[in-house]
């Protein structure tokens, strides 16, 4: 004789599900709060810079003059300073970062790779102001008498290498930024390289490949989109970095014509001008600079996430 | 192409060798292993293996899990060296030349002793075509028509040509698991190796795909010397000419219990251990 299951035993018990619901609600609220915060910041920047947008419209973005006395404001020199300094940083940091990541992931023994990775991550922990001081007193003077004076002497006839070499300026800012974003590029690229499945490497070794051939034919191509994502994340950090850049970029008010010109980025302009800025059009314009910067960094980060996301999805599909 | 070098390192086997097999001592062994010990650091994973692999034959290596059969297979093309602290004592002769001679470059050795792995592992960033010629491209530049010829020949030999000839530009990973494994076999034979090592090549496949791989192994036998590791005794019985039975000793080191013609290993083994294993009493 079979004993039938009492159907009541299958019925849901509201109380036992309560913690689940509370948890979903609670975590959901916190998550929504973070999203709301970002939206709120965007809205506040937009409303507080409304005066600027009403006054100049989109010509604020293309304007090249920033003159509080004449009450004329344009953001282009600072947009250019931001983009140029970040571009210099990427040109320096991307190849060095990628090669370092390849060394750490593929060539270094554990005894070297673990402490070296740790030290590189420590680089990211150095306070920005300390790097800035080092930039002003050590790196700037050093660049002035080495790289900069050499380039000016040898290639000064090319406009972008025109002197004089101050040591302080766009190039120094780019180098400082390169140092600051290197940890991001190295650590993320290394993790993505390490995640390439051993089966893929073995397949190439089995065909009679050297270690370098395995890296260049198999590992780097599989990791490619993730590495691009790492570089773009580094770029995102370079665009927003303020203090160290402010200290070494000089205080140029024009669009830089040469690598060694003094310049200003969006963030450094805000940092140097906000304290003595008058309420009204000037403050509104500084906030508008902040809005432009935020939009640029959001776009860059979204692009980076898409790349990194594709990379991890592709690797997950392989395992 | 490196055809000339290939000859000087590993002289081509006479095609009649196989026809004459069955008689005794018909051909000198393709691979000869003598007193082979394999270590991972202080741990001895395989000990005292001595056996010979006939050219153009299929040799199966069977045994319970952990008996060192995969490790043993990997010592034949020195793939085990990719594992940290792995080392070998003893000799492995390929056509009479010791592959552990200090003058031998393991990278070059693997051109002649190719490998197919347990799970299909086509390169995900490469098309079917590029997967097949990946090894050829390592050897240097080849003309387009040469590559085309190699791709068709390799895929035909791997019994995959008819299924993929119209989509050679599609990613290798777009194929089914069984097709991917045949693609990996095509990739391994595209460089025209002397020996193909197969490490449980069908264990990740369904029965139908497994059958196709087994048929393929039987065909490849006419051109290549094949050593296959399998934990599937029926498979060893179906595909191989000779079988090596490994098991684990009390010190956890794998060793060769018995080696001989497959039929004898399965019907009339000399060792009690072999008998127990093939009759399903352990393992």
The overall average pLDDT reported for chain A is 91
pLDDT the model gives residue B121: 94
Asked whether residue A122 is assigned to any structural domain, the reply reads yes
Across A50-67, average pLDDT = 94
CB of B203 within 8 Å of any CB in chain A?
no
- What does the angle CA A179 – CA A180 – CA A186 come to, to the nearest 5 degrees? 80
Question: Which residues in chain B are closer than 8 Å to A213, comparing Cβ atoms?
Answer: 138
In this prediction, the residues of chain B whose per-residue pLDDT falls under 70 are 1-27, 283
Q: Decide if A26 is inside a domain.
A: no
Residue A317: the pLDDT is 47
Distance of CA B93 to the CA centre of its chain: 15
Angle at A298 between CA A274 and CA A126, to 5 degrees: 65
Best B80, B107, B126 member to test A by mutation, with max A CBs in 10 Å, is B107
Domains, chain B, with CATH or none:
3-278 (3.40.50.300)
pLDDT of B281 reads 78
Chain B nearest CA to A235, separation (Å): 26
Q: Do A206 and B134 touch (CB under 8 A)?
A: no
CA atoms within 13 A on the CB side of A51: 13
Residue span of the structural domain in which A163 resides: 85-274+301-318
Q: For residue A16, tell me if it sits in a domain.
A: no
Task: Characterize the bridge pairing of strands B242-248 and B254-261.
Answer: antiparallel
Q: B138–A217: do the CB atoms touch at under 8 Å?
A: yes
Structure tokens at A20: 């689940």
- Count CB neighbours of A312 within 10 A: 15
How sure is the predictor about A1, in pLDDT bands with cuts at 50, 70 and 90?
A: low
Per the model's pLDDT, the better-predicted residue between B182 and A165 turns out to be B182
> Is B230 within 8 Å of B262 (Cβ atoms)?
no
Q: Are strands B58-62 and B242-248 parallel, antiparallel or unpaired?
A: parallel
Phi, psi of B228 (to 5 degrees): -125, 130
B123 and A210 in contact by Cβ < 8 A? no
Whether residue A161 is contained in a domain is answered as yes
Q: Using CA atoms, how far apart are residues B226 and B196, in angstroms rounded to an integer? A: 5
* Nearest residue on chain A to B133, alpha-carbon basis: A207
Q: What is the pLDDT of residues B164-219, one digit of tens each?
A: 999 999 999 999 999 999 999 999 999 999 999 999 999 988 999 899 999 999 99
Identify whether the C-beta of residue A76 lies closer than 8 Å to the C-beta of residue A62. Answer: yes
ipTM: 0.86
**Within-domain flag for A77:** no
Coarse DSSP helix, strand, coil percentages of chain B, rounded to the nearest 5 percent:
40, 25, 35
Which 3 state secondary structure label does DSSP give B179?
helix
Domain membership flag for residue A288:
no
Q: What angle (nearest 5°) sits at the alpha carbon of residue A126, between those of residues A123 and A130?
A: 130
How many residue pairs bridge chain A and chain B with CB atoms within 8 Å of each other? Answer: 73
What pLDDT score does B80 carry?
Answer: 93
Tokens of B56: 């153009």
Q: In what order do the strands lie in the sheet with B195-199?
A: B97-98, B86-94, B31-40, B43-53, B254-261, B242-248, B58-62, B225-229, B195-199, B113-116
Evaluate whether residue A124 is within a structural domain: yes
Instruction: Quote the pLDDT of residue A313.
Output: 57
Instruction: Report d(CA A306, CA A303) in Å as an integer.
Output: 5
> Do the chains contact at A209 and B191, CB–CB below 8 Å?
no
What angle is formed at CA B198 by the lines to CA B103 and CA B19, rounded to 5 degrees?
Answer: 85
A179 lies in some domain: yes
Q: What is the CATH number of the domain that holds A313?
A: 1.10.3720.10
The pLDDT score that the predictor gives to residue A271 is: 92
**Number of structural domains found in chain A:** 1
Provide the pLDDT for residue B25: 47
Cβ-based contacts of B107 with chain A (< 8 Å): 208-210
3-state secondary structure of B248: strand
CB A169 within 8 A of CB A258: no
């Amino acid at each position: 004789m079979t004993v039938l299951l009492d159907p009541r035993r299958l019925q849901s018990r509201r109380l036992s599900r309560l913690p689940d619901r509370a948890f979903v609600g609670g975590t959901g609220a916190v998550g929504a709060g973070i999203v709301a915060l970002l939206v709120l910041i965007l809205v506040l920047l937009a409303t507080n810079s409304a005066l600027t947008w009403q006054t100049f419209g989109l010509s604020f973005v293309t304007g090249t003059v920033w003159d509080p006395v004449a009450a004329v404001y344009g953001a282009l020199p600072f947009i250019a300073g931001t983009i140029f300094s970040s571009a210099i940083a990427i040109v320096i940091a991307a190849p060095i970062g990628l090669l370092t990541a390849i060394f750490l992931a593929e060539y270094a023994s554990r005894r070297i790779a673990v402490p070296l990775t740790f030290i590189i991550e420590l680089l990211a922990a150095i306070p920005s102001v300390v790097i800035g001081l080092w930039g002003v007193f050590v790196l700037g003077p050093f660049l002035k008498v080495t790289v900069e004076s050499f380039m000016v002497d040898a290639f000064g006839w090319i406009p972008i290498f025109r002197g004089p070499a101050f040591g302080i300026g766009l190039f120094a800012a780019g180098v400082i930024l390169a140092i600051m974003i290197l940890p991001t590029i190295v650590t993320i690229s290394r993790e993505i390289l390490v995640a390439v499945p051993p089966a893929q490497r073995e397949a190439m070794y089995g065909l009679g490949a050297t270690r370098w051939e395995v890296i260049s034919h198999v590992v780097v191509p599989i990791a490619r989109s993730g590495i691009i994502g790492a570089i773009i994340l580094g770029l995102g950090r370079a665009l927003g970095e303020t203090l160290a850049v402010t200290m070494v970029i000089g205080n140029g008010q024009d669009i830089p014509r040469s690598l060694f010109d003094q310049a200003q980025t969006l963030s450094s302009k805000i940092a140097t001008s906000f304290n003595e800025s008058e309420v009204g059009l000037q403050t509104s314009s500084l906030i508008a600079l902040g809005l432009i910067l935020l939009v640029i960094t959001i776009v860059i980060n979204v692009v980076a996430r898409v790349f990194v996301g594709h990379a991890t999805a592709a690797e997950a599909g392989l395992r | 192409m490196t055809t000339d070098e290939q000859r000087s390192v590993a002289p081509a086997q006479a095609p009649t060798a196989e026809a004459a097999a069955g008689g005794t001592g018909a051909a000198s062994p393709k691979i000869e292993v003598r007193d082979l010990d394999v270590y991972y650091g202080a741990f001895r994973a395989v000990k005292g293996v001595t056996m010979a692999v006939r050219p153009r034959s299929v040799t199966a290596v069977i045994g319970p899990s952990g008996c060192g059969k995969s490790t043993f297979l990997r010592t034949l093309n020195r793939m085990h060296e990719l594992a940290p602290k792995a080392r070998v004592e003893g000799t492995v002769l390929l056509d009479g030349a010791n592959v552990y001679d200090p003058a031998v470059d393991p990278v070059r050795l693997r051109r002649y002793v190719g490998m197919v792995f347990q799970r299909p592992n086509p390169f995900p960033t490469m098309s079917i075509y590029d997967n097949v010629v990946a090894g050829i491209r390592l050897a240097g530049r080849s003309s387009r028509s040469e590559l085309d010829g190699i791709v068709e020949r390799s895929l035909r030999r791997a019994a995959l040509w008819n299924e993929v000839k119209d989509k050679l530009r599609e990613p290798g990973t777009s194929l089914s698991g069984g097709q991917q494994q045949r693609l990996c076999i095509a990739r391994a034979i595209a460089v025209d190796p002397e020996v193909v090592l197969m490490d449980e090549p069908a264990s990740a496949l369904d029965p139908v795909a497994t059958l196709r791989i087994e048929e393929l192994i039987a065909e490849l036998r006419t051109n290549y010397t094949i050593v296959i590791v399998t934990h599937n005794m029926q498979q060893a019985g179906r595909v191989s000419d000779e079988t090596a039975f490994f098991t684990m000793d009390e010190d956890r080191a794998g060793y060769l219990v018995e080696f001989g013609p497959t039929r004898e290993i399965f019907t009339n083994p000399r060792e009690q251990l072999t008998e127990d294993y093939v009759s399903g009493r352990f393992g």
